[in-house]
Amino acid sequence: MDRSWPSFAADKREATKVFRRRKSTARILLSAFFIPLGIGFGGMSLLLLGLRLMPLPAGGSAMPTEIESADGTRIANWTTTGEAPQNVPLAKIPEPLIAATIAVEDQNFYHDHAISLKSTARALIVNLRHGGVVEGGSTITQQLAKNLYLSQDRTLSRKLREALFAIQLELHKSKDWILGRYLNVVYYGHGAYGVQAAAKLYFNKPVQDLDLAECAMLAGLPKGPSIYSPIDHFERAKQRQRVVLERMVATGYLTQAQAQAAAAETIHVAVHHTPVVTAPYFTDLAVREAKRVAHLSDADLDAGAVRIKTTLDPLLQRAAERAIASTLPSQSGIQAALVAMDPKTGAIRALVGGRDFRTSPFNRALAPRQPGSTFKAVVYSAALEHGWTPAKQVDSKLTTFVYGTSPADRYTVHDYADVYAGRPLTLREAIARSDNVYAVHTNLAIGPQNVVEMAHRLGISDQMKPYPSLALGVFPVSPVEMAGAYAALANGGLRVSPHVVDEIDTPEGRTVVDAPSERVLSSDVAFQMSDLMQSVLGDAGTGYGARPYLHAPAAAKTGTTDTDAWMVGYTPNLVCAVWVGYDSNRPLSVPESHLAAPIWGKFMGTAQAHMPGGWFTAPADLKAVRIDPLSGGVATPECRVAETDYFRPGTEPTEPCPLHSPSTPQQTKPKSGLFGWLRKLF
């Protein structure tokens, strides 16, 4: 016994140590479990209390892409229907659409809280496996939070904020409120936000009238609006519809027979939509330009939160549309295009691409057509640059030009209706009458390649050939290009870049459109052309039909081919190009060939009242000389007709008119009396 006691005591001491170690380990384990749990519980309680006390972010709403005019007026949302989102109370949304949405998006919506832990855990595993966010696992509440308060980027930080906003939503709002709001802001594709816009877009009916089959198809779209669009991918939409119907069966909303009947139903998808937007041709062009400049995709625009500030002047746009509608024959298929541009910046202030965008969205403002005699402004700009003066005379008569050594190198020029002046014309007279002989003579005299080069400098892109007929506008040019070319004459010789967008705001920042300009023409030549083209609106000018609508001076040029009628002109504040013709290139009748001038005149008259201003001031180095157009010499008191033209130093005429030079002072200027008055008159 004595020998065993020390061993027993040692064993007891060892057992006590083991017990104490185990007790300490248990205490540590319990502390490691309960302390973080308590901290987590306390932290979560504080977080929930803070989210409950904190108000929801102000102004939370879906933000579709917006398109604005230059003065900030909303032209349209980026939607196919062109309508702003419409809120529909949950009670008026069909029960099948509600059931289908819950079944396919969040079948435990009314039972779970803001976040589905099971779905979130599954999505987390998938995302960790792929090294990024590829699966959402979001509840309806989370999706609403994303639509109301967050961007569409797929990052872990955004998912965390989405979860917090979702919890806050459910602390502040009822499930019915959340579901109703979700159905009114969720994106269904093609720019349609909310069930009302989607119902009108896809089925051309209010949401209240949708049946089960249509509801199931609509409910399947938010997962992938571009993938399952019944407009673009009908078969995919049908497959997605069947998935939704099966989910409705699985959740007890439908029987299998009801689902099969709905799947077999014929769906009629709307194929024609009436855009309710201001300036649809302009708006369509603005969207395309914004996408190009800011590198946006349709998905970026669809995601919303994009603002496109355009150059449109709403008053001028209405004036353009009214001028065309009030001039073109109502029962005719003839079309028209109008482009109005700020010549200083290239900003397009109004644009009409046709009579009715709904029936013909083809934008004729961008379509190349033969410009006819409006191209003569390019020819004469090149001529003035190469030494011609306003006093230069060319005989107006039927002329055959020989421009080569081959017998085929002959070109006979006809004036309109073969009516010629039968005498030499000055440049001002040739422009007013739109004399073809003068234009072709000028083209060949200065070299057609110089005319082509001038056209390219002014912004005309067509690869023209140096033919004699070049002067008569036989190579196609679009109205936008013609407006841009004339802008250089109106702004003193600077080539500007026509554009319809000023700024683009996206969640990533702002893009300001760069509209550079460069000098392509001297200010002297630009002013000379502006002064000379006033004659087109004079009593003997081809644009006389536009003059009754104007309130101030303007410069312009008409142009007519067998199939096209044009008028292009400007004031210091605005340049406008008008084209009239048939899409089929059908020949114009005589009355139809004169429709461009009144359209141009009506619009420019409104523009002059809206944008009043003075006329151009001659550059200091130009010299004004009064000449007799019959001789091209300096006008004398005996000249019955005279014109004032501007000349660069050293190019002005100095000899008096030889036709009316008096032999004695008494013969040239009778002092008084009836005889003197008769001499002046005749």
d(CA 401, CA 238): 69
d(CA 226, CA 129): 26
406 catalytic per annotation: no
Largest Cα separation within the chain, whole Å, is: 172
CB 55 within 8 A of CB 294: no
Amino acid at 418: D
d(CA 262, CA 103): 16
- CA distance readout (Å), 282 to 320, 352, 427: 12, 7, 37
d(CA 98, CA 106): 11
Tokens matching residue 448 = 């057609």
CB 345 within 8 A of CB 488: no
Q: How many CB atoms lie within 10 A of CB 316?
A: 23
Among the listed residues 66, 68, 83, 105, the single catalytic one is: 105
CB 171 within 8 A of CB 177: no
Q: Which helix (H) or strand (E) holds 341?
A: strand 335-341
Task: Work out the angle at residue 147's Cα, subtended by the Cα atoms of residues 141 and 152, and round it to the nearest 5 degrees.
Answer: 120
151 catalytic per annotation: no
Count helices and strands in the chain by DSSP H and E runs: 22, 18
d(CA 516, CA 619): 24
The backbone torsions φ and ψ at residue 135, rounded to the nearest 5 degrees and listed phi first, read: -135, 140
Among the listed residues 373, 396, 535, 631, the single catalytic one is: 373
Strand-pair partners of 519: 494
671: Cβ–Cβ under 8 A, 6 or more apart, which residues? none
Tokens matching residue 292 = 């190009």
Helices (H), ranges, 512-592: 523-532
Q: Which helix (H) or strand (E) holds 9?
A: helix 5-53
CB 615 within 8 A of CB 636: no
CB 404 within 8 A of CB 511: no
Q: Which helix (H) or strand (E) holds 39?
A: helix 5-53
State the Cα torsion 209-212-216-222 to the nearest 10°. 20
d(CA 253, CA 235): 24
- Identify the residue whose tokens are 């439908």: 254
- Identify the residue whose tokens are 């061993």: 7
SS3 518: strand
Q: Which of 629, 611, 663, 643 is nearest to 534 (CA)?
A: 643
What positions carry a catalytic annotation? 105, 373
